[in-house]
């Protein structure tokens, strides 16, 4: 589960920032989160609603203030042994950079897990940064721009056979009030989507999911393929196609030690607007990079994470990532390869559901770094 989803396509709101800024306010967010679930697991099952203040600092947001709400539940009582725990999350966030995000997302597992319904809904006003398109953009290119965005996503999936699902997807995104410096890089590059627009698309998905837990699995695999097509026929201003391949593997090495691995590909073809481009960085991939530091039509990321317990409710991880962006598949090579690495702590808020508070610190090869405070694992 990821309460703080991306404010762009996936509503992901990453909490990255300089590690030395984790002060008393960051500690307050940590402690308030812990106190909400510092109770016996049997009690946690009876009270699956988590409400906590969000006070943090990030690369993208500076200081952030808000409220996050999470609910975990089962549709059948007594608990259906074939269905994983459903979850719904909400977030309202305001930052010192005058950014605002309101989002609702979740995944509902129906009895016997014959159906799974994933949904996302968000509104955001977000002053952001732009360095240009491609994998060689210098840091000196940095310039500000801002936008308002409404995003809606619906993804029902039907069980075909054990662990195998067929799904259908609908995405709608409206972007408006786009502000940027006249004559600047954003203007000169004639970026697609620099004027108000909306996109609407239908798609299909195939998923194989044998993970033993939706929040923090210690064994099993997940393989997902998404295809979505955006077209004026569906009310879209731009015509393009999007392909996503997401492969994950979880290995239990010794007792509670876990090796988690992910290979992720994001590919576009056609006239792709800015907020639908591949975006490298953030809290879930390539930690240590500003989310959107590198943008282009295509992207791949490979990451691994070693997770191990410490004592009591505490655990730790070390991770490493590499990836790249490119304007075409042939441009997605290992030249100018990006990589990052880091580590973090985990606090078990709900041991029964394996719901953890995540504190990560990532460093990129360009000497940028980020601190992340979030609920749920990166992948």
Average pLDDT, the chain: 84
Can you name the CATH fold of 19-375? Porin (2.40.160)
Q: What is the spatial distance between Cα 340 and Cα 221, in angstroms, rounded to a whole number? A: 24
Q: What is the spatial distance between Cα 155 and Cα 168, in angstroms, rounded to a whole number? A: 6
Looking up tokens 């059948």 gives 76
* Helix, strand, or coil (residue 232): helix
Q: Residue 249: what pLDDT? A: 97
pLDDT at 35 over 60: no
At 100-114, the pLDDT tens digits run: 999 999 999 998 889
Question: For residue 349, what are its two tokens?
Answer: 């808020």
pLDDT at 48 over 90: no
Average pLDDT over residues 69-85: 77
Q: What is the spatial distance between Cα 336 and Cα 314, in angstroms, rounded to a whole number? A: 37
75 neighbors 86 (Cβ within 8 angstroms): yes
Closest C-alpha to 293, from 134, 69, 166, 68:
134
Q: Residue 57: what pLDDT? A: 67
Q: Give the pairing type, strands 220-230 and 294-296.
A: unpaired
Closest C-alpha to 302, from 324, 283, 330, 282:
324
* More reliable by pLDDT, 197 or 12: 197
Percentage of residues in the chain having pLDDT higher than 90:
55
At 20-32, the pLDDT tens digits run: 223 333 333 444 4
- Long-range Cβ contact pairs of 183-190 (< 8 A, separation 24 or more): 184/143, 185/130, 185/131, 185/132, 185/141, 185/143, 186/130, 186/143, 186/145, 189/132, 189/133
Closest C-alpha to 14, from 369, 343, 284:
284
Q: Phi and psi dihedrals of 145, rounded to 5?
A: -155, 165
Q: Parse the chain into domains and list their residue ranges.
A: 19-375
pLDDT at 300 over 60: yes
Q: Residue 371: what pLDDT? A: 82
179 neighbors 147 (Cβ within 8 angstroms): yes
356 neighbors 217 (Cβ within 8 angstroms): no
Closest C-alpha to 344, from 330, 360, 331:
360
Percentage of residues in the chain having pLDDT higher than 70:
85
Neighbouring residues of 233: CB distance < 8 A, sequence distance ≥ 6: none
Q: What is the spatial distance between Cα 203 and Cα 227, in angstroms, rounded to a whole number? A: 5
Neighbouring residues of 232: CB distance < 8 A, sequence distance ≥ 6: 239
Q: What is the spatial distance between Cα 154 and Cα 170, in angstroms, rounded to a whole number? A: 5
Q: Residue 15: what pLDDT? A: 30
Q: What is the spatial distance between Cα 7 and Cα 4, in angstroms, rounded to a whole number? A: 9
Q: What is the spatial distance between Cα 70 and Cα 1, in angstroms, rounded to a whole number? A: 9
Average pLDDT over residues 155-184: 94
Cα distances (angstroms) measured from residue 143 to each of 99, 129, 132, 226:
16, 6, 9, 33
Q: What is the spatial distance between Cα 258 and Cα 356, in angstroms, rounded to a whole number? A: 15
Output b/e per residue, 16-30; b: 16+ Cβ within 10 A: bbeeeebeebbeebb
130 neighbors 145 (Cβ within 8 angstroms): yes
What Rg do the C-alpha atoms of the chain give, in angstroms? 20
Q: Residue 112: what pLDDT? A: 85
């Amino acid at each position: 589960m990821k309460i703080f989803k991306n404010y762009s396509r996936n509503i992901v709101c990453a909490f990255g920032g300089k590690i030395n800024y984790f002060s008393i306010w960051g500690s307050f967010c940590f402690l308030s989160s812990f106190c909400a679930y510092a109770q016996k697991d049997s009690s946690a099952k009876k009270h699956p609603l988590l409400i906590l203040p969000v006070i943090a600092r990030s690369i993208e947001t500076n200081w952030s203030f808000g409220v996050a709400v999470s609910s975990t539940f089962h549709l059948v009582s007594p608990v259906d042994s074939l269905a994983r725990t459903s979850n719904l999350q909400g977030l309202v966030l305001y930052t010192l950079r005058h950014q605002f995000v309101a989002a609702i997302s979740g995944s509902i597992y129906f009895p016997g897990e014959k159906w799974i319904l994933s949904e996302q809904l968000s509104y955001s006003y977000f002053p952001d940064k732009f360095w240009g398109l491609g994998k060689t953009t210098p840091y000196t290119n940095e310039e500000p721009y801002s936008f308002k965005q409404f995003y809606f996503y619906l993804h029902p999936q039907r069980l075909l056979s054990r662990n195998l699902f067929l799904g259908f997807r609908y995405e709608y995104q409206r972007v408006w009030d786009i502000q940027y410096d006249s004559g600047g890089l954003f203007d000169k590059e004639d970026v697609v989507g620099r004027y108000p627009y909306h996109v609407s698309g239908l798609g299909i998905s195939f998923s194989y999911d044998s993970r033993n837990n939706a929040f923090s699995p210690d064994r099993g695999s997940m393989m997902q393929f998404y295809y979505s097509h955006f077209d004026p026929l569906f009310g879209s201003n731009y015509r393009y196609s999007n392909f996503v391949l997401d492969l994950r593997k979880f290995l239990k090495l010794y007792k509670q030690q876990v090796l988690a691995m992910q290979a992720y590909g994001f590919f576009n073809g056609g006239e792709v607007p800015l907020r639908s481009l591949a975006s490298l960085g953030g809290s879930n991939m390539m930690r240590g990079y500003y989310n959107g530091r590198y943008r282009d039509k295509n992207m791949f990321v490979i990451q691994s994470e070693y997770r191990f317990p410490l004592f009591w409710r505490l655990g730790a991880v070390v991770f490493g990532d590499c990836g790249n962006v490119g304007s075409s598949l042939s441009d997605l090579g290992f030249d100018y390869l990006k990589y990052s690495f880091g580590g973090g702590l985990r606090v078990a808020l709900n041991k029964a559901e394996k719901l953890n508070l995540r504190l990560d610190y990532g460093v990129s090869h360009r000497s940028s770094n980020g601190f992340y405070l979030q609920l749920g694992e990166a992948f």
